[in-house]
Structure 1
Amino acid sequence: MVVIRLSRGGSKARPFYNIVVADKRNRRDGRFIERIGFYNPLARGGEEPLRLELDRLTYWTGVGAAPSDTVQRLVKQHAAAKPVAA
């Protein structure tokens, strides 16, 4: 099964997460299929806290990839932060 989840990077006490599409059997920080964004929980000032490639997210969910609970929360947060221009 293919999942969309966070892969931890960064150093001790300074987390940085890549949002990746991976096979469920692989380790959290192991091999992945595609990187579709990142999440920086410690972003300050002008730093970008979250970036998502929504077209790739839509593609992977369309072919059956299941997002983790945290990724679902981040997608909702991303959608609320970027209002759709009419």
Structure 2
Amino acid sequence: MNPAGIDPTVRSEQTTELQIQNRTLEMNLLQESLARAHMQERLHEAEEQRLGLRVLRADRLRRKAERASMRARKALAVALM
């Protein structure tokens, strides 16, 4: 027996089991981290898409306002003639 009164083979098995548990935990944490990064990327892509749609909508509204302004100018010009 060793001074601590623990059988060395039991100590070795406990150490091996602990190492396996640590590796399993690390793998789970790695998977969670990967999933989190993937979701962040998806959220970023969705935000970029929303911004692009907002810009398109604003451009369409600007053109529509310009056309309305031209019609109003033409109607005023006709009324003043």
TM-score, normalised with respect to structure 1:
0.20
TM-score, normalised with respect to structure 2:
0.21
Work out which structure has the larger RCO, using CA pairs closer than 8 Å and 6 or more positions apart in sequence: 1
Structure whose alpha-carbon radius of gyration is higher:
2
Q: Relative to total residues, which structure has the larger helix share, 1 or 2? A: 2
